[in-house]
C-alpha cells in the first residue's frame, strides 16, 4: 500500500523502559518519518548539570542550571545503522546519557519548568514541517496536544526492569537487578507526581500494554493504527 502524502505527528508516551523508543524508532522508519527521543534531551541536560556541578548527591543548584540553559546545545545525528545519536554541545554523549548516574538525576532535572520550556520549544522546532514520531512523557499532553495519533505504552514493572537490566548488562555495566528496578519505580513516581507536565495518559491516547507482546507484534499494532489515521485524513 502506498502511503498517502498526508503527514502526521505521532506521540508515544508512557512509563520508563517500556519499549517506547524501540516502537517509536521502528514506526518512524516504516513511515519514513523522523524519530525524536525527547528523553535523550532531558538526559543530555542532566549530563550537563552533572558536568557543571549544578546537581549532585546532596544538592541541586536549580538557579545555576537555569542561568546556564542557554549554554546547552542539543542535536541528533545518525550512526551507520541509522540509529539516532545524541550530541551535547557537539560531543557525542549517546552512551554517557544512558548510564545509571544520569538516570538517577534525570527526574529531578526534568521537573524544572524552565528546562521543560526549553526542551518543548526545541522538540517543536525539530518537528516543524515533518512527519514525526516522538516518544516521551508529555508528548500527547503538552508538546503535541493536537497530534493525530497518540499512543500510551505500558508494561508490568518486573518485565520493564528485566528488559532494562538486560540492556545495561549487555553494555557491560556492573549493576544489580534491584537497583535498576528501584530506579524505574522512583522515576515513574517522580514523573507522575511532578507539578510541571506530569506523566499521564492523554484522554485521546490509545493504551498499549506490551507486557506479553513481542516487538514485532507491538509494531504491527501501532503501524495499523498509524496507517488508518494517515489514510482517513
* Window 189 to 208, contacts with ligand DC (CB under 6 A): 191
Instruction: Give dist(CA 189, CA 28) in Å, integer.
Output: 29
If one asks whether residue 187 binds ligand DC (CB under 6 A), the answer comes out as yes
In the complex with ligand DC, the residue whose CB is nearer, 110 or 127, is 110
If one asks whether residue 183 binds ligand DC (CB under 6 A), the answer comes out as no
If one asks whether residue 140 binds ligand DC (CB under 6 A), the answer comes out as no
If one asks whether residue 94 binds ligand DC (CB under 6 A), the answer comes out as no
Q: Which three cell numbers stand for residue 205?
A: 491516547
In the complex with ligand DC, the residue whose CB is nearer, 20 or 131, is 20
If one asks whether residue 14 binds ligand DC (CB under 6 A), the answer comes out as no
Using a 10 angstrom Cβ sphere, with 0-12 exposed, 13-18 middle and 19 or more buried, the burial of residue 27 is buried
**Binder among 10, 18, 44, 106 for ligand DC (CB under 6 A):** 106
Distances (CA, A) of 108 to 62, 96, 138, 165, 190: 10, 18, 16, 22, 8
List of residues contacting ligand DC (CB under 6 A): 16, 38-39, 42-43, 106-107, 110, 136-139, 187, 191
Amino acid at each position: 500500500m502506498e502511503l498517502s502524502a498526508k503527514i502526521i505527528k505521532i506521540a508515544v508516551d508512557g512509563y520508563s523502559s517500556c519499549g517506547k523508543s524501540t516502537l517509536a524508532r521502528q514506526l518512524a522508519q516504516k513511515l519514513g518519518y523522523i524519530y525524536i527521543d525527547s528523553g535523550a534531551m532531558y538526559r543530555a541536560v542532566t549530563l550537563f548539570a552533572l558536568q557543571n556541578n549544578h546537581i549532585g548527591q546532596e544538592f541541586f543548584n536549580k538557579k545555576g542550571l537555569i542561568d546556564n540553559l542557554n549554554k546547552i546545545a542539543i542535536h541528533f545525528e545518525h550512526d551507520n545503522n541509522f540509529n539516532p545519536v545524541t550530541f551535547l554541545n557537539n560531543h557525542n554523549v549517546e552512551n554517557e546519557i544512558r548510564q545509571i548516574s544520569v538516570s538517577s538525576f534525570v527526574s529531578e532535572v526534568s521537573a524544572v519548568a524552565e528546562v521543560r520550556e526549553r526542551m518543548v520549544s526545541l522538540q517543536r522546532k525539530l518537528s516543524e514541517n515533518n512527519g514525526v514520531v516522538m516518544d516521551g512523557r508529555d508528548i500527547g499532553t503538552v508538546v503535541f496536544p493536537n497530534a493525530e495519533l497518540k499512543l500510551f505504552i505500558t508494561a508490568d514493572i518486573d518485565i520493564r526492569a528485566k528488559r532494562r537490566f538486560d540492556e545495561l548488562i549487555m553494555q557491560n555495566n556492573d549493576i544489580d537487578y534491584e537497583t535498576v528496578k528501584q530506579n524505574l519505580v522512583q522515576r515513574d513516581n517522580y514523573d507522575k507526581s511532578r507539578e510541571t507536565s506530569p506523566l499521564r495518559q492523554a484522554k485521546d491516547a490509545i493504551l498499549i500494554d506490551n507486557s506479553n507482546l513481542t516487538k514485532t507484534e507491538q509494531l504491527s499494532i501501532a503501524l495499523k493504527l498509524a496507517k488508518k489515521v494517515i489514510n482517513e485524513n
